[in-house]
Protein backbone atom coordinates (compact mmCIF):
# COMPACT_ATOMS: atom_id res chain seq x y z
CA UNK A 1 0.00 0.00 0.00
CA UNK A 2 1.35 3.43 -0.89
CA UNK A 3 1.02 5.86 2.00
CA UNK A 4 0.96 9.53 1.01
CA UNK A 5 0.30 12.89 2.61
CA UNK A 6 -1.42 15.72 0.81
CA UNK A 7 -3.39 18.89 1.24
CA UNK A 8 -6.33 19.40 -1.12
CA UNK A 9 -3.91 20.46 -3.87
CA UNK A 10 -0.58 18.79 -3.08
CA UNK A 11 0.60 15.18 -2.58
CA UNK A 12 3.78 14.51 -0.66
CA UNK A 13 5.39 11.11 0.11
CA UNK A 14 4.86 10.20 3.74
CA UNK A 15 5.98 7.32 5.88
CA UNK A 16 5.58 9.06 9.20
CA UNK A 17 7.70 8.05 12.17
CA UNK A 18 7.74 10.01 15.40
CA UNK A 19 11.49 10.58 15.29
CA UNK A 20 12.85 14.14 15.16
CA UNK A 21 16.26 15.65 14.66
CA UNK A 22 16.30 19.11 16.18
CA UNK A 23 18.04 22.27 14.96
CA UNK A 24 17.42 25.89 15.94
CA UNK A 25 18.33 29.36 14.76
CA UNK A 26 18.05 32.09 17.39
CA UNK A 27 17.44 35.83 17.09
CA UNK A 28 17.97 38.65 19.57
CA UNK A 29 16.24 41.34 17.50
CA UNK A 30 12.99 42.70 18.95
CA UNK A 31 10.04 42.77 16.57
CA UNK A 32 6.84 44.75 16.21
CA UNK A 33 4.05 42.16 16.53
CA UNK A 34 1.29 43.17 18.95
CA UNK A 35 1.60 41.34 22.27
CA UNK A 36 -0.75 38.39 22.60
CA UNK A 37 -1.42 38.10 18.86
CA UNK A 38 -0.23 35.44 16.44
CA UNK A 39 0.07 35.43 12.65
CA UNK A 40 -2.15 34.07 9.90
CA UNK A 41 -0.41 32.00 7.22
CA UNK A 42 -1.28 31.02 3.65
CA UNK A 43 0.96 30.54 0.59
CA UNK A 44 1.81 32.70 -2.39
CA UNK A 45 2.03 32.41 -6.17
CA UNK A 46 5.82 32.22 -5.87
CA UNK A 47 5.70 29.25 -3.51
CA UNK A 48 6.60 31.09 -0.32
CA UNK A 49 4.65 31.66 2.88
CA UNK A 50 2.21 34.57 2.94
CA UNK A 51 1.83 36.00 6.44
CA UNK A 52 -0.60 38.48 7.97
CA UNK A 53 0.26 40.10 11.30
CA UNK A 54 -0.83 42.98 13.53
CA UNK A 55 1.76 45.46 14.81
CA UNK A 56 1.92 47.18 18.20
CA UNK A 57 -0.30 50.02 16.89
CA UNK A 58 -2.97 47.60 15.68
CA UNK A 59 -2.15 48.11 12.00
CA UNK A 60 -2.48 45.06 9.74
CA UNK A 61 0.50 43.96 7.64
CA UNK A 62 0.92 41.39 4.88
CA UNK A 63 4.14 39.63 3.85
CA UNK A 64 3.95 38.22 0.34
CA UNK A 65 6.81 35.76 0.56
CA UNK A 66 9.69 38.15 1.17
CA UNK A 67 8.56 41.73 1.88
CA UNK A 68 6.02 43.39 4.19
CA UNK A 69 3.35 45.90 3.14
CA UNK A 70 0.63 47.63 5.14
CA UNK A 71 -3.01 46.89 4.40
CA UNK A 72 -4.29 49.41 6.94
CA UNK A 73 -7.08 49.02 9.42
CA UNK A 74 -6.90 48.91 13.21
CA UNK A 75 -7.19 45.41 14.65
CA UNK A 76 -7.56 44.25 18.24
CA UNK A 77 -6.84 40.56 17.66
CA UNK A 78 -4.81 38.02 15.78
CA UNK A 79 -5.80 38.06 12.09
CA UNK A 80 -7.17 35.24 9.94
CA UNK A 81 -6.51 34.77 6.23
CA UNK A 82 -7.53 32.38 3.49
CA UNK A 83 -6.99 31.93 -0.24
CA UNK A 84 -10.45 30.97 -1.61
CA UNK A 85 -10.28 27.69 -3.53
CA UNK A 86 -6.48 27.88 -3.22
CA UNK A 87 -6.36 30.73 -5.75
CA UNK A 88 -3.02 32.17 -4.66
CA UNK A 89 -3.59 35.64 -6.16
CA UNK A 90 -6.74 36.09 -4.04
CA UNK A 91 -6.43 36.72 -0.30
CA UNK A 92 -9.18 37.39 2.26
CA UNK A 93 -8.07 38.89 5.59
CA UNK A 94 -10.25 39.01 8.72
CA UNK A 95 -9.71 40.83 12.05
CA UNK A 96 -11.56 41.94 15.17
CA UNK A 97 -12.11 45.69 15.00
CA UNK A 98 -12.01 48.25 17.80
CA UNK A 99 -15.80 47.90 18.19
CA UNK A 100 -15.55 44.12 18.63
CA UNK A 101 -17.08 43.35 15.23
CA UNK A 102 -15.56 41.23 12.46
CA UNK A 103 -13.93 43.07 9.54
CA UNK A 104 -12.78 41.71 6.18
CA UNK A 105 -10.54 43.04 3.41
CA UNK A 106 -9.50 41.25 0.24
CA UNK A 107 -7.24 41.45 -2.79
CA UNK A 108 -8.03 39.80 -6.12
CA UNK A 109 -4.68 40.49 -7.76
CA UNK A 110 -1.94 39.38 -5.38
CA UNK A 111 -1.91 42.66 -3.48
CA UNK A 112 -1.70 45.06 -6.43
CA UNK A 113 -4.88 46.62 -5.01
CA UNK A 114 -7.18 45.98 -2.07
CA UNK A 115 -10.89 46.48 -1.53
CA UNK A 116 -12.19 48.55 1.37
CA UNK A 117 -12.56 47.09 4.85
CA UNK A 118 -16.04 45.58 5.22
CA UNK A 119 -17.89 45.27 8.54
CA UNK A 120 -19.36 41.75 8.82
CA UNK A 121 -20.92 42.44 12.21
CA UNK A 122 -21.06 40.07 15.12
CA UNK A 123 -19.27 40.53 18.45
CA UNK A 124 -16.03 38.69 19.11
CA UNK A 125 -14.94 38.02 22.67
CA UNK A 126 -12.17 40.36 23.81
CA UNK A 127 -8.70 38.93 23.27
CA UNK A 128 -9.79 36.52 20.54
CA UNK A 129 -9.55 36.57 16.76
CA UNK A 130 -11.34 34.86 13.88
CA UNK A 131 -10.56 31.73 11.87
CA UNK A 132 -11.18 31.45 8.13
CA UNK A 133 -10.97 28.72 5.50
CA UNK A 134 -12.17 27.82 2.01
CA UNK A 135 -13.05 24.39 0.59
CA UNK A 136 -14.24 25.33 -2.91
CA UNK A 137 -14.72 27.97 -5.58
CA UNK A 138 -16.29 31.08 -4.09
CA UNK A 139 -16.69 29.43 -0.69
CA UNK A 140 -15.39 31.22 2.42
CA UNK A 141 -16.21 30.22 6.00
CA UNK A 142 -15.29 32.29 9.04
CA UNK A 143 -15.54 31.32 12.72
CA UNK A 144 -15.33 33.39 15.91
CA UNK A 145 -15.73 33.04 19.65
CA UNK A 146 -18.71 35.18 20.58
CA UNK A 147 -19.12 37.21 23.77
CA UNK A 148 -21.24 34.30 25.07
CA UNK A 149 -18.21 31.99 24.76
CA UNK A 150 -19.82 29.90 21.99
CA UNK A 151 -18.50 29.23 18.48
CA UNK A 152 -20.22 31.32 15.80
CA UNK A 153 -20.07 30.83 12.01
CA UNK A 154 -20.69 32.99 8.95
CA UNK A 155 -20.25 31.84 5.33
CA UNK A 156 -20.17 33.07 1.76
CA UNK A 157 -20.72 31.14 -1.47
CA UNK A 158 -19.75 33.98 -3.80
CA UNK A 159 -16.28 35.04 -2.63
CA UNK A 160 -17.63 37.47 -0.05
CA UNK A 161 -20.08 39.37 -2.28
CA UNK A 162 -22.75 38.40 0.26
CA UNK A 163 -22.73 36.57 3.57
CA UNK A 164 -25.04 34.29 5.55
CA UNK A 165 -26.43 35.31 8.90
CA UNK A 166 -24.44 34.44 11.99
CA UNK A 167 -25.05 30.88 13.22
CA UNK A 168 -24.22 29.62 16.72
CA UNK A 169 -22.44 26.23 16.83
CA UNK A 170 -22.47 26.08 20.62
CA UNK A 171 -19.66 24.99 22.86
CA UNK A 172 -17.74 26.89 25.54
CA UNK A 173 -14.49 28.22 24.09
CA UNK A 174 -11.54 29.67 25.99
CA UNK A 175 -9.53 30.58 22.88
CA UNK A 176 -9.76 31.78 19.32
CA UNK A 177 -10.89 29.01 16.94
CA UNK A 178 -8.86 27.42 14.13
CA UNK A 179 -10.41 25.90 11.00
CA UNK A 180 -9.31 23.97 7.93
CA UNK A 181 -10.90 21.72 5.25
CA UNK A 182 -9.56 18.18 4.74
CA UNK A 183 -11.71 17.82 1.61
CA UNK A 184 -14.36 19.55 -0.46
CA UNK A 185 -17.42 20.45 1.64
CA UNK A 186 -15.73 19.40 4.88
CA UNK A 187 -14.36 21.55 7.72
CA UNK A 188 -12.77 20.88 11.08
CA UNK A 189 -12.85 23.56 13.79
CA UNK A 190 -10.50 23.25 16.79
CA UNK A 191 -10.63 25.25 20.04
CA UNK A 192 -9.43 25.26 23.65
CA UNK A 193 -12.18 24.13 26.01
CA UNK A 194 -12.92 25.11 29.60
CA UNK A 195 -10.87 22.10 30.76
CA UNK A 196 -7.80 23.35 28.85
CA UNK A 197 -7.97 20.48 26.35
CA UNK A 198 -8.24 20.72 22.57
CA UNK A 199 -11.82 20.21 21.34
CA UNK A 200 -13.08 19.92 17.78
CA UNK A 201 -16.25 19.97 15.72
CA UNK A 202 -16.64 18.73 12.11
CA UNK A 203 -18.78 19.81 9.18
CA UNK A 204 -19.35 16.49 7.37
CA UNK A 205 -20.90 17.94 4.22
CA UNK A 206 -24.48 17.73 5.50
CA UNK A 207 -24.37 18.55 9.22
CA UNK A 208 -22.18 19.60 12.14
CA UNK A 209 -20.94 16.88 14.47
CA UNK A 210 -21.09 17.10 18.24
CA UNK A 211 -18.12 18.45 20.17
CA UNK A 212 -15.35 15.91 20.88
CA UNK A 213 -12.14 16.15 22.91
CA UNK A 214 -8.71 15.61 21.39
CA UNK A 215 -7.09 15.80 24.84
CA UNK A 216 -3.87 17.58 25.60
CA UNK A 217 -3.47 20.71 27.71
CA UNK A 218 -3.15 24.09 26.00
CA UNK A 219 -1.58 27.13 27.62
CA UNK A 220 -4.15 29.73 28.74
CA UNK A 221 -5.18 32.28 26.08
CA UNK A 222 -3.89 30.05 23.27
CA UNK A 223 -5.69 27.98 20.65
CA UNK A 224 -4.75 25.53 17.94
CA UNK A 225 -3.24 25.80 14.49
CA UNK A 226 -4.67 23.27 12.04
CA UNK A 227 -4.29 22.06 8.46
CA UNK A 228 -6.51 19.50 6.73
CA UNK A 229 -4.59 16.70 5.00
CA UNK A 230 -5.03 13.37 3.21
CA UNK A 231 -2.93 10.72 4.92
CA UNK A 232 -3.47 7.96 2.36
CA UNK A 233 -4.56 8.57 -1.22
CA UNK A 234 -5.28 4.88 -1.78
CA UNK A 235 -7.90 4.70 0.97
CA UNK A 236 -8.66 8.45 0.95
CA UNK A 237 -7.96 8.57 4.69
CA UNK A 238 -8.21 12.19 5.78
CA UNK A 239 -7.55 14.14 8.92
CA UNK A 240 -5.72 17.14 10.35
CA UNK A 241 -2.29 18.21 11.45
CA UNK A 242 -2.97 19.97 14.75
CA UNK A 243 -0.45 22.19 16.55
CA UNK A 244 -0.88 23.72 20.01
CA UNK A 245 1.16 25.51 22.65
CA UNK A 246 1.25 23.29 25.73
CA UNK A 247 1.27 24.38 29.36
CA UNK A 248 5.09 24.04 29.15
CA UNK A 249 4.93 26.85 26.54
CA UNK A 250 6.35 24.63 23.81
CA UNK A 251 4.74 23.47 20.57
CA UNK A 252 3.02 20.09 20.46
CA UNK A 253 1.43 18.38 17.46
CA UNK A 254 -0.36 15.29 16.22
CA UNK A 255 -1.73 13.84 12.99
CA UNK A 256 -5.34 13.67 14.12
CA UNK A 257 -7.18 11.00 12.16
CA UNK A 258 -4.14 8.83 11.48
CA UNK A 259 -4.16 5.51 13.35
CA UNK A 260 -1.90 5.52 16.39
CA UNK A 261 -1.23 9.25 16.38
CA UNK A 262 -0.57 10.95 19.72
CA UNK A 263 0.66 14.32 20.94
CA UNK A 264 4.39 14.84 20.34
CA UNK A 265 6.56 17.82 21.28
CA UNK A 266 8.49 19.82 18.70
CA UNK A 267 11.97 21.19 19.42
CA UNK A 268 12.10 24.16 21.75
CA UNK A 269 11.66 27.58 20.16
CA UNK A 270 14.76 29.80 20.44
CA UNK A 271 12.51 32.57 21.81
CA UNK A 272 9.70 32.50 24.38
CA UNK A 273 6.31 31.88 22.78
CA UNK A 274 3.70 34.56 23.32
CA UNK A 275 0.20 33.77 24.62
CA UNK A 276 -1.25 33.27 21.13
CA UNK A 277 -2.17 30.54 18.67
CA UNK A 278 0.18 29.05 16.04
CA UNK A 279 -0.57 29.21 12.31
CA UNK A 280 0.03 26.33 9.89
CA UNK A 281 0.57 26.27 6.13
CA UNK A 282 1.68 23.63 3.62
CA UNK A 283 4.25 25.19 1.31
CA UNK A 284 4.59 24.53 -2.42
CA UNK A 285 8.00 23.03 -1.67
CA UNK A 286 6.29 20.21 0.23
CA UNK A 287 6.91 21.23 3.83
CA UNK A 288 4.61 21.83 6.76
CA UNK A 289 5.37 25.27 8.20
CA UNK A 290 4.26 26.34 11.67
CA UNK A 291 4.44 30.05 12.49
CA UNK A 292 4.34 31.50 16.01
CA UNK A 293 4.77 34.88 17.67
CA UNK A 294 7.17 35.41 20.56
CA UNK A 295 7.33 37.70 23.57
CA UNK A 296 10.06 39.61 21.70
CA UNK A 297 7.47 40.68 19.11
CA UNK A 298 8.87 38.41 16.42
CA UNK A 299 7.35 35.78 14.16
CA UNK A 300 9.26 32.52 13.94
CA UNK A 301 8.83 29.48 11.73
CA UNK A 302 9.31 25.81 12.56
CA UNK A 303 9.22 23.58 9.49
CA UNK A 304 9.56 19.91 8.64
CA UNK A 305 12.32 19.19 6.14
CA UNK A 306 12.65 16.25 3.79
CA UNK A 307 9.13 16.24 2.34
CA UNK A 308 8.00 13.93 5.12
CA UNK A 309 10.82 11.47 4.71
CA UNK A 310 11.03 8.54 7.16
CA UNK A 311 12.83 10.78 9.66
CA UNK A 312 11.20 14.18 10.16
CA UNK A 313 13.64 16.98 10.92
CA UNK A 314 12.01 20.02 12.51
CA UNK A 315 14.02 23.23 12.09
CA UNK A 316 13.46 26.73 13.48
CA UNK A 317 14.12 29.65 11.14
CA UNK A 318 15.27 33.16 11.91
CA UNK A 319 12.79 35.82 13.03
CA UNK A 320 10.73 38.31 11.03
CA UNK A 321 8.17 41.00 11.82
CA UNK A 322 6.48 43.98 10.12
CA UNK A 323 8.62 47.13 9.74
pLDDT tens for 55-108 read 999 999 999 877 899 999 999 999 999 988 667 788 999 999 999 999 999 998
Per-residue pLDDT, 2: 34
Q: Give the start-to-end residue ranges of the domains of the chain.
A: 4-316
pLDDT category at 277 given cuts 50, 70, 90 is very high
* Phi, psi (degrees; rounded to nearest 5) at 276: -155, 170
Residue among 317, 290, 297, 294 at smallest CA distance from 40 = 290
pLDDT category at 234 given cuts 50, 70, 90 is low
pLDDT category at 43 given cuts 50, 70, 90 is confident
- Alpha-carbon distance values, 222 to 99, 152, 236, 247 (Å): 22, 18, 31, 10
Per-residue pLDDT, 106: 94
pTM of the model: 0.88
Which residue did the predictor score with more confidence, 203 or 310? 203
Q: Taking residues 306-314, what's their average pLDDT?
A: 55
Tell me the pLDDT tens digit for each residue of 125-162: 999 999 999 998 889 999 999 999 999 999 999 988 99
Which residue did the predictor score with more confidence, 282 or 243? 243
Instruction: Could you please state the CATH topology (level 3) that the domain comprising 4-316 is classified under.
Output: Neuraminidase (2.120.10)
Which residue did the predictor score with more confidence, 91 or 235? 91
**Considering the chain, what percentage of its residues have pLDDT values greater than 70?**
83
C-alpha span between 34 and 54 (Å, rounded): 6
Starting at the edge strand found earlier in the chain, the sheet holding 237-245 runs: 11-13, 4-6, 224-232, 237-245, 251-256, 264-265
Q: Taking residues 116-120, what's their average pLDDT?
A: 97
Per-residue pLDDT, 194: 98
Per-residue pLDDT, 6: 42
Per-residue pLDDT, 20: 30
Amino acid sequence: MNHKRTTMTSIVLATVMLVSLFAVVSSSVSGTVMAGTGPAATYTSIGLSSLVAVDTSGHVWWMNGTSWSSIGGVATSSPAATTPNFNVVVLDVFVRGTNGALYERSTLNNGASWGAWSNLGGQLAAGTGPAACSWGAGRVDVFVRGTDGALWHKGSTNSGASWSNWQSLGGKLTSSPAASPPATNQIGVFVRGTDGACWYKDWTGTAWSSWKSLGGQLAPHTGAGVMGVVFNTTTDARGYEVFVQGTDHQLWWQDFGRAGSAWSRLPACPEVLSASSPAVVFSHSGHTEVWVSTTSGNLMECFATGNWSPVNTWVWSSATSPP
